[in-house]
């Protein structure tokens, strides 16, 4: 699978150029012109690396880096800082905030690609987890879209599977109905939020004993609970 790079850069020309160069080098890319949509995206998808501009309109790049590195869900994603500044002080500060590397503009496309590859290799951050073993009796195979309960394959719909896939990305994290809808259907959703409740009810029914792992926070949404059942 091609590595997926998120690029946060507010200058559209530079963003387009970086995307072009990285795509040519075989990376998949997603561009963000501000920090806020990046964080929104990280709720449902993790990239292999984040290339982060230091000067952004809505948040300082250092602050973005600090926020990423202080959240258990995102701390392992490698971050490479991209900036026009070449002060030693800024470099040191960036690395102190947890950045994995630092690239100064203007840069050579070849150097950028080589550095990103090196950081990804070195980081050991692996997002392509294909099989999730919640416990020996409850296994999810993301490649084959299969849920195995005591070695028996559950007959779930693709929607039910994707809901479980989302909830298990961050156990304990409450996803609201609108985030679940975004994950399932993107922006062209035509269904109402209550539809989620119906899918969840069906999924819980199919999970049988393990239904307790899908919890509801009243008025907010749903989350995945991995601890053993105490009832
Ligand atoms: Ca900038």
**Structure confidence by residue, pLDDT tens digits, 70-113:** 887 788 889 999 887 666 677 777 777 789 998 888 889 999 99
Residues in a beta bridge with 86: none
85 Cβ contact partners less than 8 Å away, ≥ 6 residues apart:
54, 104
How far does residue 153's CA lie from ligand 1's centre (Å)?
49
How far does residue 172's CA lie from ligand 1's centre (Å)?
34
* CA dihedral (171, 194, 204, 147) positive or negative: negative
Which tens digits make up the pLDDT trace of 164-221? 999 998 888 999 998 898 888 776 666 777 889 999 999 999 999 999 999 999 889 9
How far does residue 34's CA lie from ligand 1's centre (Å)?
9
How far does residue 142's CA lie from ligand 1's centre (Å)?
37
Which tens digits make up the pLDDT trace of 29-77? 999 999 999 998 887 778 999 999 988 999 999 999 999 998 877 888 8
Domains of the chain: 4-128 (3.40.50.2300), 131-224 (1.10.10.10)
> What pLDDT score was predicted for residue 97?
79
How far does residue 191's CA lie from ligand 1's centre (Å)?
37
How far does residue 86's CA lie from ligand 1's centre (Å)?
14
Q: Tell me how many degrees the CA angle 166-170-174 measures, rounded to the nearest 5.
A: 80
How far does residue 83's CA lie from ligand 1's centre (Å)?
7
User: For residues 229 and 161, which has the higher predicted lDDT (pLDDT)?
Assistant: 161
Measure the CA dihedral 53/101/126/28, to 10°.
40
Burial 198-229 (b: 16+ CB within 10 A, else e): ebbeebbebbeebeebbeeeeeebbbbeeeee
């Amino acid at each position: 699978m091609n590595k997926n790079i998120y690029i946060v850069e507010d200058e559209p020309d530079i963003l387009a150029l970086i995307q072009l160069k990285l795509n040519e080098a075989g990376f998949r890319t997603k561009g963000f012109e501000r920090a806020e949509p990046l964080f929104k995206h990280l709720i449902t998808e993790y990239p292999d690396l984040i290339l982060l501009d230091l000067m952004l309109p809505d948040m300082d790049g250092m602050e973005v880096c600090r926020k990423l590195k202080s959240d258990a869900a995102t701390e392992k994603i490698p971050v490479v800082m991209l900036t026009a500044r070449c002060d030693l002080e800024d470099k040191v500060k960036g690395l102190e905030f947890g950045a994995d590397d630092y690239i100064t503009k203007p840069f050579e496309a070849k150097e950028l690609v080589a550095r990103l590859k090196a950081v990804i290799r070195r980081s050991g951050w692996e997002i392509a987890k294909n099989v999730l073993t919640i416990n020996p009796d409850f296994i999810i195979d993301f490649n084959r879209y299969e849920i195995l309960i005591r070695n028996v394959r559950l007959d779930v719909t693709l929607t039910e599977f994707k809901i479980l896939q989302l909830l298990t990305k961050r156990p304990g994290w409450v996803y609201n109905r609108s985030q679940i809808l975004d994950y399932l259907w993107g922006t062209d959703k035509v269904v109402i939020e209550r539809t989620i409740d119906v899918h969840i009810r069906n999924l819980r029914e199919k999970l049988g004993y393990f239904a307790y792992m899908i919890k509801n926070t009243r008025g907010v949404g749903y989350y995945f609970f991995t601890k053993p059942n105490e009832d």
